[in-house]
Amino acid sequence: MAAALAALTAWAAAQLAPTTWIHTAQAGDDSTTGALLRRGYFGAAALGLAIAGLWGLGAGVGVGFTDETFLRTALTAAVPISICAAVIALAAPRLPQTALTTWLRRARPPVTAIAVGAAGVYLQRAADTLTFPADLAMPGLVQAVGAAMLGVATALIATRSTLLRIITGIILATGYVLVTDVTTHHYLTIAYTIVLAWWAATTATVTVTAAIPQAAGWLSRKPADHHQ
């Protein structure tokens, strides 16, 4: 999961220059705005993969494991997000100037949900390894709190509807608390990583459909329409 978080951190950094630029007096310069978006998101794609690769190599070295398992796992988590960043780099420069502010808000990573999820993963691992704070309190309670946090974070990222977030958050938090233990918390982390990739994919899709109206029509076309 750390590799996915690294890719999203690079994604967030890619927004800094465009966000600053569009609030200046020269924001009407489409070529500069497009160049900033293109370079920023291509840079995010490359940086996310680089950090994930270094993390995977470092993790392997840290535990004395010399095969490619850690590197492969790290890249598997980061590659989907980096691909989505590259797609955005190609499409975002074509966004209408009037839509940029709204799009930048839509494409901003859900920092709060990511932080809650990362804390939840940490607490579950702490309960597994009896490290802080599990070494100061009941490990079972620490693991349950971590699982609940991870369930809430997953719901916050999976949907933008407030009502669905509340309902899904309650269901996932309760379910995660009931099933989490030393043998299952890894699967909860994998599910959270998949949801992060889903968020990146939906953001890339929204970007493409907003930048290229023909793409929106193609994506909404029914299979039967191709035969007419």
| pLDDT tens sequence across 67-98 | 678 888 899 999 999 999 999 999 999 998 88
Q: Comparing C-alpha atoms, which of 17, 13, 158, 11 is closest to residue 100?
A: 17
- How high is the pLDDT of residue 98? 83
Identify the domain containing residue 14 by its residue range. Answer: 1-108
* Rounded (10°) angle between helices 100-107 and 185-211: 170
Instruction: Write the pLDDT tens digit of every residue in 9-29.
Output: 888 888 887 777 766 655 556
Q: What is the C-alpha separation between 10 and 144, in angstroms, rounded?
A: 31
- How high is the pLDDT of residue 67? 64
E strands, 11-124, in order:
none
* Rounded (10°) angle between helices 185-211 and 2-14: 30
Query: Would you say residue 223 lies in a domain?
Result: no
Count of structural domains within the chain: 1
Q: In which band, very low, low, confident or very high, does the pLDDT at 227 lie, cut at 50, 70 and 90?
A: very low
User: How many other CB atoms are there within 10 angstroms of residue 99's CB atom?
Assistant: 12
Query: Would you say residue 182 lies in a domain?
Result: no
Query: Would you say residue 23 lies in a domain?
Result: yes
Query: Would you say residue 104 lies in a domain?
Result: yes
Q: What is the C-alpha separation between 116 and 147, in angstroms, rounded?
A: 11
Tell me which residue has tokens 């995660």: 176
Q: What is the C-alpha separation between 43 and 85, in angstroms, rounded?
A: 9
Query: Would you say residue 57 lies in a domain?
Result: yes
Length of the chain equals 228
Query: Would you say residue 67 lies in a domain?
Result: yes
Q: Which two tokens stand for residue 13?
A: 């950094």
- For the segment 53-60, the average pLDDT, to the nearest whole number, is 84
Query: Would you say residue 53 lies in a domain?
Result: yes
CA 45 to chain centre: 12
Query: Would you say residue 10 lies in a domain?
Result: yes
Q: Comparing C-alpha atoms, which of 95, 85, 42 is closest to residue 215?
A: 95
- How high is the pLDDT of residue 228? 46
